Amino acid sequence: MPKRNALYAQSGGVTSVINASACGVIETARQHRDRIGKVYAGDNGIVGVLTEDLIDTSRESARTIAGLRHTPGGAFGSARYKLKSLEENRTEYERIIEVCKAHNIGYFFYNGGGDSMDTAHKLSRIGKRLGYPITCIGVPKTVDNDLPITDTCPGFGSVAKYIAISTQEAAKDVISMAETSTKVFILEVMGRHAGWIAAAGGLAGSRPEDAPHIILFPEIPFNRQRFLARVRCCVKDYGYCVVVVSEGARYRNGQFLADTGLVDAFGHKQLGGAATVIANMVRDKLGFKFHYAIADYLQRAARHLASATDVRQAYAVGKAAVELALAGKNAVMPVIVRTSDRPYKWSIGSTSLGRVANREKMMPRRYITKDGFGITAAGRRYLEPLIQGEDYPPYRNGLPDYVTLKRVMVRKKLKTKFVLS
Amino acid sequence: MPKRNALYAQSGGVTSVINASACGVIETARQHRDRIGKVYAGDNGIVGVLTEDLIDTSRESARTIAGLRHTPGGAFGSARYKLKSLEENRTEYERIIEVCKAHNIGYFFYNGGGDSMDTAHKLSRIGKRLGYPITCIGVPKTVDNDLPITDTCPGFGSVAKYIAISTQEAAKDVISMAETSTKVFILEVMGRHAGWIAAAGGLAGSRPEDAPHIILFPEIPFNRQRFLARVRCCVKDYGYCVVVVSEGARYRNGQFLADTGLVDAFGHKQLGGAATVIANMVRDKLGFKFHYAIADYLQRAARHLASATDVRQAYAVGKAAVELALAGKNAVMPVIVRTSDRPYKWSIGSTSLGRVANREKMMPRRYITKDGFGITAAGRRYLEPLIQGEDYPPYRNGLPDYVTLKRVMVRKKLKTKFVLS
């Protein structure tokens, strides 16, 4: 069989370790030059694939590719661009096949969440039908930790570590000032549908008096009266109260605490401001001095504080994706298999894309305490291993020495331009 | 001369390295047991001194005291409690003298900003007048970097490093998504009166295309039209725009972008929300998708990302404070003297408290670019050395192993209770 090239694309919200997966894909492909030609990357993910804007990763030095392991963001550009269904827009899938054909691409590694796994899955089928079979392998990534089957999603462990440590540190600040200053501190974290990230804040402390004293999960309908009573109680008992609130926290009727009315490309509501709503509630009803922080992108970009476990797993799924392809597998995704909690042991397995596409893994109710404000021992047992270990980037002149790619573009071969819908 | 005890107190907003100064004071005092007795610490700063709630630091192990060097927050508790003027409330000063007398305290080390230096200064005078002379030494601390004479203030270098790196990392995230998602990212940082912290964000990049593209300083009156034009220009030229906005950014008439109407114990307006105001402006006038983060306490508590230079300086001023006291100085404060920019060299000097009390060091206009949106080469030359070096705390179980004190209280000796005004 003649050597075919590979295509790698990043999709959706980036993470502090998605480039570690890219590093795993590219380094492993380079180790198999006898079977895989060049690795091209979609410039801004699938958008670049559609428009035939491909980055030639073979033009990047081994040193630069190695540096991806410690560089946050999406080095090749990512996209929030959801392909329509085959029935609605067959043209998009056909175009991708056309681009792959033009550039002798036989392998497609798609690094993303549930939507992307669905795309990869469809592509593997349509390629075959159109007489140009492509090996499509998913590479899991999402800070939301909501992919099924895999024990965790690369990207999540580092956000979890960042949120746990930020909560711990801010609490150290607040407790030392509470007597005469701020009594209530609120940290807003990501997690639109599931409270995985908010739950990670719970790792900051383990005794009742430790922060965070209250976690507001999307899974638990927000009850203002119960919340305020708890805040008052914490301030009385401990002198202060630290709250971690998920951006996805909502009322019993499903309305988000902070509903701005904006909608993104996926039709998801654009949120922000749960902390502000909570803070105003505390001020108006309890009169305590408050402060709030909104971590936003800082939490998913904080490569300086990555979990070493997360980095290793991100690299491992990238590496495994190439190995699966070389083993003749198609329409699969490497997964992380937990074989032991303490000590934490994991290995890499795989599952079919059909089983992960468009399925969200919710947080089990048993990870949340009965009162709905904290995490249980079971939740801690699941989360704790994921933040283990530090993996510091190298520094230069006081700043992390993150790599920037040359991004040499592949010469276009198609005559037609593709206009994004 | 009989051996006298020392009193140490933390004041005002805490930092990620104020405990490193405490460590410097206590370890140095312990090295001079022949001349200094015990070191007591005010529980919650000056408040605990007034109420005779003193922590006996001699009950903490050498290991715990050493651990203060890497622990953020105020380990002994701090206070936003400004002593009134001698004329207005002489009782408070007399009470402090009374407490010192009761506990044979001959040295007072006050770790704070401008207000605290003023208090220490007054106390050194009133002690003498009341026939109980106390050696009062200031220990500089403030993330605001606004103390005069000293090259920088311990606490600032670490916030600067945190903001520079957070800006750099968030920018890596935004640039990779900008094609199809967020185009404008806004990071709100501290700095009520001076733009030192906002300026530090400027260290994230050095070329025009690098983030941050816009810094909004308190020093430069905010002009909506010019700001929006610049945002539009950045998105056009670079595909995205990263803005660092100081909480103290204000309009030409002096009104803060985010004026909540709340006032703290020092009579300072309580702010928060400049990022929200800016974000809404961008959305309403330009229609770009935006995200914003509010770093709030995370920035001044982030010991995990401390500047090694800052940690060393924080320790050094604590150590120097004790040495100055032992050398017979009074009413002075150790300062950091810059002897060279590149390579950065510094030494410890000292100045009289009278020269630093209640004087704010503003950021020189020449550190801000002519257009008011960035930092100049001179600004960079000043700031860059302050973020050099990493000083990671030890970790345990995925989290920094921050120390917690036993906080054994000193038995009270006074019959009278003091009621805070």
Q: A103 CB near a chain B CB, below 8 Å? A: no
With pLDDT > 70 as the criterion, what percentage of chain A qualifies? 97
Q: Do B301 and A16 touch (CB under 8 A)?
A: no
Q: How far apart are CA A159 and CA A169, in angstroms?
A: 15
Q: Which of B250, B217, B238, B243 is nearest to B228 (CA)?
A: B243
pLDDT confidence of residue A266: 56
Report pLDDT for B183: 97
Question: B41-62: per-residue pLDDT in tens?
Answer: 999 999 999 999 999 999 999 9
Q: What angle do CA A411, A412, A417 make, to 5 degrees?
A: 155
B241–chain A Cβ distance below 8 A for any pair: no
Is any Cβ of chain A less than 8 angstroms from the Cβ of B166?
yes
Nearest-angstrom CA–CA distance, B238 and A332: 37
Strand (E) positions, B29-181? 36-42, 54-56, 105-112, 135-140
According to DSSP, the residues that pair with B390 across neighbouring strands are B307
Backbone φ and ψ for B340, nearest 5 degrees, come out as -160, 140
Sheet holding B332-340, edge to edge: B54-56, B36-42, B4-10, B105-112, B135-140, B332-340, B345-352
Question: Are A168 and B399 inside 8 Å of each other by CB?
Answer: yes
Contact A191, A246 (CB under 8 A): yes
CB–CB of B168 and A402 under 8 A? yes
CB spacing of A14 vs B164 below 8 angstroms: no
d(CA B393, CA A166): 14
Residues B268-300: tens digit of each pLDDT = 555 558 998 899 899 889 999 999 999 999 999
Q: What percent of chain B has pLDDT over 90?
A: 89
Neighbours of B341 (CB within 10 A): 12
Q: CB B71 to CB A294 under 8 A? A: no
Q: With a CB-CB cutoff of 8 Å, which residues 24-63 of chain B face chain A?
A: 44, 47
B302 by DSSP, 3-state: which?
Answer: coil
Q: Is A20 on the interface with B (CB under 8 A)?
A: no
Q: What is the DSSP string of B184-209?
A: EEEEEE--SS--HHHHHHGGG--STT
Say if B400 is an interface residue toward chain A (CB within 8 Å).
Answer: yes
Active site residues per annotation of B:
144
B407 to chain A, closest Cα gap in Å: 13
Give me the interface pTM, i.e. the ipTM: 0.96
Of A144, A151, A310, A391, catalytic = A144
DSSP letters, B363-409, are PPGGGB-TTSSSB-HHHHHHHGGGG-SB-PPPEETTEE-------PB
Q: What is the pLDDT of residue B82?
A: 87
Q: Among A179, A203, A297, select the one facing B291 at the smallest CB separation.
A: A297
Q: Is the pLDDT of residue B339 over 80?
A: yes
Contact (CB, 8 A) for A334 and A140: yes
Residue B1 has a pLDDT of 57
Classified as helix, coil or strand, B289 is coil
B294 vs A289: CB contact, 8 Å cut-off?
no
Residues of B in contact with A381 (CB under 8 A): none
Q: What is the rounded distance in angstroms from the CA atom of residue A390 to the CA atom of residue A158?
A: 10
Give pLDDT, residue B359. Answer: 86
CA-nearest residue to A201 within chain B is: B399
Q: Which residue has the higher pLDDT, B1 or B335?
A: B335
Which chain B residues are within 8 Å of A44, Cβ to Cβ?
Answer: 176, 179-180
Q: Which residues of B touch A388 (CB under 8 A)?
A: 397-398
Is the CB of B399 less than 8 angstroms away from the CB of A296?
Answer: no
To which H or E segment does residue A208 belong?
none
| Sign of torsion over alpha carbons A265, A266, A268, A271 | negative
CA distance B298 to chain A (A): 6
Give the C-alpha separation, B40 to B42, whole Å: 7
Note whether A170 contacts B298, CB cutoff 8 Å: yes
Strand order in the sheet with A54-56: A54-56, A36-42, A4-10, A105-112, A135-140, A332-340, A345-352
Q: Which of B297, B402, B403 is the best substitution to test chain A (most A C-beta atoms within 10 A)?
A: B297
At B113-155, the pLDDT tens digits run 999 999 999 999 999 999 999 999 999 999 999 999 999 999 9
Mean pLDDT of chain B: 95
CB distance from B293 to chain A under 8 Å? Answer: yes
DSSP letter for A393, please: P
Question: How far, in Å, CA of A40 to CA of A45, rounded?
Answer: 11
Contact call for residues A116 and A14 (beta carbons, < 8 A) = no
**Interface contact A392-B388, CB threshold 8 A:** no
- Chain B residues within 8 A of A166 when measuring between CB atoms: 298, 301-302
CB-nearest to A173 from B14, B166, B181 is B14
pLDDT in tens, B71-108: 999 999 999 998 888 888 889 999 999 999 999 999 99
pLDDT in the model for residue A66: 98
* Strand B36-42 with B4-10, pairing: parallel
What pLDDT, on a 0 to 100 scale, did the predictor assign at position B266?
A: 56
Interface test with A, best of B43, B55, B142, B177 (most A CBs within 10 A): B177
Provide the token pair at A407.
Answer: 């991004």
d(CA A16, CA B75): 32
Nearest CA to CA, how far is A154 from chain B (Å)?
Answer: 16
pLDDT of residue A163: 98
B303 interface with A at CB cutoff 8 Å: yes
Give the Cα separation of B61 and B65 in Å (integer).
6
d(CA A131, CA A206): 58
Measured distance CA(B43)–CA(B54) in Å, rounded = 6
Which chain B residues are closer than 8 Å to A400 by Cβ?
165, 168-169
**Domains by residue range for chain B, with CATH:** 4-142+304-357+392-400 (3.40.50.450), 156-303 (3.40.50.460)
CA distance B61 to chain A (A): 20
Q: Could you tell me the pLDDT band of residue B421, with boundaries at 50, 70 and 90?
A: confident
For residues A184 and A178, give the distance between their C-alpha atoms in angstroms, rounded to a whole number: 8
Cβ contacts (< 8 Å) between B387 and chain A: which residues? 398-399
Cα torsion B67, B70, B71, B75: sign: positive
| Contact B307/A at CB under 8 A | yes
Q: Which of A177, A296, A307 lies at the smallest CB-CB distance from B293?
A: A296
**B203 contacts in A (CB within 8 Å)?**
398-399
The burial class, CB within 10 Å (0-12 / 13-18 / 19+), for A102 is middle
**Which chain A residues are closer than 8 Å to B74 by Cβ?**
173, 176-177
Closest in B177, B294, B307 to A294, CB measured: B294
From A13, which residue of chain B is nearest by alpha-carbon distance? B177
Inter-chain contact B177–A14, Cβ cutoff 8 Å?
A: yes
pLDDT mean over B367-385? 98
Residue numbers in chain A where pLDDT is lower than 50:
none
| Residues in chain B, total | 421
Looking at the DSSP bridge assignments, the partners of residue A5 are A105
Q: Are B304 and A402 inside 8 Å of each other by CB?
A: no
Question: Percentage of chain B surpassing pLDDT 70?
Answer: 97
Please report, in angstroms and rounded to a whole number, the separation of the first and last CA atoms in chain B.
36
